[in-house]
Amino acid sequence: MSGQSVPTLAELHALGPAQQPTYPDRASVDAAVAKLRKMPPLVFAGECDDLKAKLAAVTRGEAFLLQGGDCAETFDGVTADNVRNKLRVLLQMAVVLTYAASVPVVKLGRLAGQYAKPRSSDLETRDGVTLPAYRGDAVNGFEFTEASRVPDPQRLVDVYNSSAATLNLVRAFVTGGYADLRQVHTWNTDFVLGSEVGRRYEQLAAEIDKAMSFMEAIGVDVEELRRVDFHSSHEALVLEYEHALTRIDSRTQLPYDVSGHFVWIGERTRQLDGAHVEMMSRIANPIGVKLGPTTSADDAIALAAKLNPTNEQGRLTFITRMGAGKIREHLPPLLEKVHAAGVEVAWVCDPMHGNTFEASSGYKTRRFEDVIEEVQGFFDVHRSVGTWPGGLHVELTGDDVTECVGGGEDVLESDLSDRYESVCDPRLNRVQSLELAFLVAEMLRK
Ligand code: PEP
Ligand code: MN
């Protein structure tokens, strides 16, 4: 394995990849992979390059990344309403961040491919029954039955089709007028409108309207108001899928993983000599790596050397997920040493994955206050080291779910059962997401 050639699947498997499905037979896996290899790309290499250029601006401290979506998308969740609601909350958050902090915001959905989940345990026990854990719709079914939990490679083809449908809808919304900045008011609908943060947003939207009327009056016709740049991302976990969708770009002769614009390596699969790092080191997409509290500065520097040997701006994003109680202790030494080593990287805060706990009712949840506290710690540490707090990576939904506790509407632990819809980690609902955007805008302004 050398240069920009892509290792074979067999070579990757020889590296003993973590968190892979145990398929019952190889023939059906090979059949699914063969089918995927013939499918057209979901994204174009040139679009990946555009995103990389935007992430280079984040790396230089000239822009802020907003990355968000479900912990785990589901095939059932591919509906017009669901996709529109997620897009809408991201657009609202981006407007708040852009307008209130005057910083360009790079919008990146955690969608159209986010179907595979790493698990801390291979098994799940309920009421004395033990079955294989749910690993995302890409692998097996959420339903707690023996049949549903058997990994089925045909699901990889379903991931492709669901991602294609989602991307098609997103592209239509984004270019068809829904993302036009003149729509700022129409994004603020239903249950959000009646909330305190919804009213605050309404005021901001009125200011934007005024600014736009002014620009129109003086004859400025800004094309940027009409359309928005939006890209897709997911964790590159199941190697069969990512490998089958890796293609040589005819323009540059470089391999791109055309399953999404941006792919990241999770906290559980970031071993330096592991298959995921090897595979991702060979593609030309912009990529990310999640860094948890056990990451040493040397680990991060070695990952950067392997994944971005030319130290290209925009190629690599480190997504730290330390936990609210740990970030002020663990991030400074990491940041100082990586910065001193001259590593070009965009630093992004995932304030979700270090703050998960089980409520007494058994639901997995997160406190909104912990999320804010981690983001505040992230900003404070970056400011004291002199690096740019480059963005936010969040699990959210456009719906009125009750999965994370706290926030202005004060979701209580006893409310969790009302509308807990995530098949994996708890997401911020639309009100909580908007509240977060206003708080982060304040942090950015200071
Ligand atoms: C996730 O992003 O859903 C996830 C599993 O994160 P991490 O790899 O940081 O644990
Ligand atoms: Mn998650």
The domain spanning residue 323 has which CATH number? Answer: 3.20.20.70
> What was the pLDDT predicted at 191?
77
Give tens-digit pLDDT for 160-197.
999 999 999 999 999 888 888 888 888 887 778 888 99
Burial of 388 (0-12, 13-18, 19+ CB in 10 A): middle
Nearest alpha-carbon partner for 424 in 124, 179, 134: 134
**If you search the block for the tokens 């390596």, which residue do you land on?**
265
| pLDDT for the residue 157 | 98
Single-letter amino acid, residue 426: P
Dihedral angle over CA of 73, 77, 81, 85, nearest 10: -20
As a whole number, mean pLDDT of residues 413-431 equals 97
Environment class of residue 59 by beta-carbon count within 10 Å: exposed (0-12), middle (13-18) or buried (19+)?
buried
Whether residue 38 is predicted with pLDDT greater than 50 in this model: the reply is yes
CB 74 within 8 A of CB 423: yes
In a domain, 168, yes or no: yes
User: Are 188 and 198 within 8 A, CB to CB?
Assistant: yes
Once rounded to an integer, what is the mean pLDDT over residues 213-236?
86
What percentage of the chain exceeds 90 in pLDDT?
A: 86
Distance (Å) from CA 434 to ligand 1 centroid: 22
Q: Which of the residue ranges 34-43, 183-192, 204-213, 245-254 would you say has the lowest mean pLDDT?
A: 183-192
Of 27-41, 127-141, 224-238, 278-292, which range is least confident? 224-238
Decide if pLDDT at 153 tops 70: yes
288 vs 327: CA distance, rounded Å: 19
- Whether residue 62 lies inside any domain: the answer is yes
How many whole angstroms separate alpha carbon 309 and alpha carbon 301?
Answer: 11
Query: Among all ligands shown, which has an atom nearest to the Cα of 120?
Result: 1
Q: Give the per-residue pLDDT at 2.
A: 41
Q: Which residues are annotated as a binding site?
A: 71, 110, 267-268, 290, 321, 353, 395, 425
DSSP per position, 226-254: H---EEEEEE---HHHHHHTEEE-TTT--
Backbone φ/ψ region at 342: left (φ over 0), alpha (ψ -120 to 50), beta? left
Nearest to 412 by CA among 421, 402, 398, 422: 402
Assess whether pLDDT exceeds 50 at residue 215. Answer: yes
- Write the residue with the smallest CA distance to atom 1 of ligand 1: 71
**Closest among 336, 328, 333 to 385, alpha carbons compared:** 336
Contact 261, 285 (CB under 8 A): yes
- Percent share of the chain, pLDDT over 70: 99
pLDDT for residue 1: 42
Atom in ligand 1 nearest the alpha carbon of residue 267: 8
pLDDT at 148 over 50: yes
Mean pLDDT across the chain:
95
Is pLDDT larger for residue 334 or for residue 3? 334
Atom of ligand 1 nearest to the CA of 117: 5
Taking every pair of Cα atoms in the chain, the longest distance, rounded to a whole number of angstroms, is 71
Q: Is the pLDDT of residue 33 over 80?
A: yes
Residue with the smallest CA separation from ligand 1 atom 2 is 71
29 CB neighbour count, 10 Å cutoff? 19
**Ligand 2 geometric centre to CA of 351 (Å):** 11
Domain assignment present for residue 206? The answer is no
- Which residue from 134, 348, 395, 425 has its CB within 8 A of the most atoms of ligand 1, so it is best to mutate? 425
Distances (CA, A) of 122 to 132, 199, 210, 240, 436: 6, 45, 55, 19, 33
* 317 within some domain: yes
Mean pLDDT calculated for residue range 238-257 = 98
Binding-site residues from annotation for phosphoenolpyruvate: 110, 267-268, 290, 321
Those residues whose C-beta lies under 8 Å from the C-beta of residue 34, and which sit 6 or more positions away, are: none
Pocket test for ligand 1, best of 268, 356, 428 (most atoms within 8 A of CB): 268
**Residue 213 pLDDT:** 87
Nearest-atom index, ligand 1, CA of 266: 8
Whole-number pLDDT of residue 182: 82
pLDDT of 406 above 70 = yes
Point out the ligand 1 atom lying closest to the alpha carbon of residue 71: 3
Q: Is 315 within a domain?
A: yes
CB-neighbour burial class of residue 221 (10 A; exposed 0-12, middle 13-18, buried 19+): exposed
Residue at 389: amino acid letter: P
Ligand 1 pocket mutation pick from 74, 270, 321 by most atoms within 8 angstroms of CB: 321
How many structural domains does the chain have?
1
Q: Which residues are near ligand 1 (CB < 6 Å)?
A: 71, 118, 235, 266-268, 290, 321, 353, 425
- What is the average per-residue pLDDT within 102-119? 96
CA of 404, nearest ligand number: 2
* Annotated binding residues for Mn(2+): 71, 353, 395, 425
Q: In the structure, what pLDDT confidence band is assigned to residue 227 with cuts at 50, 70 and 90?
A: confident
Atom of ligand 1 nearest to the CA of 290: 9
Q: Please say whether the beta carbons of 42 and 112 come within 8 A.
A: yes
- Report the pLDDT averaged over residues 272-288: 98
pLDDT on residue 165: 98
Inside any domain, residue 413:
yes
* Model pLDDT for residues 61-85, shown as the tens digit of each residue: 999 999 999 999 999 999 999 999 9
Nearest to 229 by CA among 278, 171, 270: 171
User: Do 385 and 333 touch, CB atoms closer than 8 A?
Assistant: no
Asked, for residue 191, whether it belongs to a domain, the answer is no
**If pLDDT is split at 50, 70 and 90, which confidence band does 100 have?**
confident
Task: For residues 319-330, give the mean pLDDT.
Answer: 98
> What range does the domain containing 437 cover?
9-179+227-445
State residue 193's pLDDT score: 82
Token duo for residue 317? 């994003």
Looking at the domain assignment, is residue 335 inside a domain?
yes
